[in-house]
Amino acid sequence: MAASGPPLAGKATDRRAIYCSTMLRYTDSAAGITPDQLAGFFDGWPNPPTPETHLRILTGSDAVILAIEDGRVVGFITAIADGALCASLPLLEVLPAHRGRGIGAELVRRMLARLSNYYAIDLACDPHLAPFYERLGFKPATAMLRRNFAAQNGRP
């Protein structure tokens, strides 16, 4: 389902994995990731996707950035893009034990670079996260949402 055309700045096949330390690295591809590397996400969700479904989400998204440490995914962000004008960022999460290290902000920065050709990049967040996103260049707006909680686990 990856969008065709030029708007994504780079492809999953590019050699864009950048090593920030010997332990933590970032990559823009889920190729080679296995479900056992994805344990612990969707913290607090009552009906969370399984790691297998999480992998489907990563491979089905138009763009993804992963933070990987010691062979384990410790953070991820996904984007859905129309190939021309608009992109949205539906999911961003850092494993609880790894929060506060700058990983979340770095995932957003790298995704914004990947989507730099897009006119609109939208997301919805809880009010307490507004300062986090404002520091990354986002502006407050009103969002309207619908949720089907029976499908929260992604229907594995």
Does residue 92 touch ligand COA according to CB under 6 A? Answer: yes
Non-local (6+) Cβ contacts of 100 within 8 A are none
Reduce the secondary structure of 54-75 to three states and give it as a string.
HHHHHHHCCEEEEEEECCEEEE
10 Å Cβ neighbour count for 149?
Answer: 9
Considering only 103, 111, 112, 121, the residue that binds ligand COA (CB under 6 A) is 103
Counting every residue, how long is the chain? Answer: 156
Does residue 94 touch ligand COA according to CB under 6 A? Answer: yes
Pick the closer one to ligand COA by CB: 15 or 128: 128
Considering only 129, 152, 153, 154, the residue that binds ligand COA (CB under 6 A) is 129
Distance CA 78, CA 29 (A): 11
DSSP 3: P
Does residue 102 touch ligand COA according to CB under 6 A? Answer: yes
Considering only 128, 139, 147, 155, the residue that binds ligand COA (CB under 6 A) is 128
Closest CA relative to residue 65, chosen from 11, 118, 110: 110
Stretch that binds ligand COA, among 6-14, 30-38, 92-100, 145-153 (CB under 6 A): 92-100
| Nearest residue to the partner ligand COA, using Cβ | 104
Does residue 46 touch ligand COA according to CB under 6 A? Answer: no
Summarize as ranges the residues that interact with ligand COA (CB under 6 A): 92-94, 99-105, 123, 125, 128-129, 132
